[in-house]
Chains A and B, each alone.
Chain A
Amino acid sequence: MNVLGWTGDTKVPPDAHPFHHGGWTALLAPSDSTKTPHVRLAMQVSWFDAGFNFIPVAPAQQLTPTDLTDAACLGNLNTVWQNIGGHGQFCLAVRPRDEDGPMPSQGRAWLQARKAQQDQERQHKTLLDKIVTGLNLPANACQQGAHRASSAILVPRNAAQKTRQAIAEIAQKLETPQDVTLVVSGLWPPLGFTQNGLGTA
């Protein structure tokens, strides 16, 4: 069995195996049907879409029930639960509308292209920071790189549609130094907002 999350609710997904430990219910799924990180993420998404609230384990980690015997690890779940219970997250990414061609391979041309790329990435980060600030919601620090900037915002489940509209309104008003695309995906389980409790990667 793999642990995909914890919940403080009494209701658990019908295809999850509840494992009670330390005052919490760990949500387990059969190992043979959750072998890859992508499958584990897909199962977490299906539980979340079905309305279940839980603290998600990083899908990249294969966590077994025997790993839960360290009660000290569960000490901060209460704090995390208070912060993210009833919430999901939107992932936001800003990228150029048209991808650049291949970078020059050497010399001055490479340096100039690299500088232009870094300037562009900084512009994307600034733009994304403006959007996130305008939403006035808890957000992860903006990550910058590989032609794009990304961040995540924590959104109450019942405010998802309202937040989509707010993002659209802010995006419409922003002036950009180049043609860019803002990709908004979600609502995801709040994977990026578990850092107040246990460790995060």
Chain B
Amino acid sequence: MSLTLEMATPDEVMGSSDTALVDVVDGLLRHGVVIRGELWLTVADVDLVFLGLDLLLAAPDKIRPGVQP
């Protein structure tokens, strides 16, 4: 069994429709400094849900890394 390596630049990733690369972009959109709990949840470049709450909504394994959901 083998491991294939694929390297991509940010421009290639943002212009791609490959689901793995779309996931990379969607992950990046939610990272960075957040002052207010106000996020757009997006999938494949489509804005789906707007959260205007001062709450942190995240998967359990993201809040407490290592915990299996």
Q: Do chains A and B interact in one complex?
A: yes
Interface of B (DSSP majority class)? mixed
Q: Mark A165-177, 1 if CB is under 8 A from B, else 0.
A: 0011001101111
A113 at the interface (CB under 8 A from B): no
Closest to B10 in A: A45
| Docked complex Cα distance between A181 and B2 (Å) | 8
* A58, A80, A141, A167: the one within 8 Å of B29 (CB): A58
A32 at the interface (CB under 8 A from B): no
Q: Mark B56-68, 1 if CB is under 8 A from A, else 0.
A: 1011011001100
Q: Is the CB of A188 within 8 A of B28?
A: yes
CB distance from B50 to the nearest CB of A (A): 10
- What residues of chain B lie closer than 8 Å to A49, measured between beta carbons? 10
| Docked complex Cα distance between A117 and B4 (Å) | 20
Q: Is the CB of A201 within 8 A of B36?
A: no
Q: How large is the interface on A (under 10, 10 to 19, 20 to 34, 35 or more residues)?
A: 35 or more
Binding site for A on B (CB under 8 A): 1-14, 20-21, 23-25, 27-42, 45, 47, 56, 58-59, 61-62, 65-66
* B5, B12, B27, B56: the one within 8 Å of A150 (CB): B27
Q: Is the CB of B1 within 8 A of A37?
A: no
Within 8 A of B (CB), among A55-107: 55-63, 67-68, 70, 73, 80, 91, 93, 95, 97
| Docked complex Cα distance between A73 and B47 (Å) | 27
- What residues of chain B lie closer than 8 Å to A154, measured between beta carbons? none
Q: Is the CB of A37 within 8 A of B40?
A: yes
Q: Is the CB of B3 within 8 A of A67?
A: no
Q: Is the CB of B21 within 8 A of A183?
A: yes
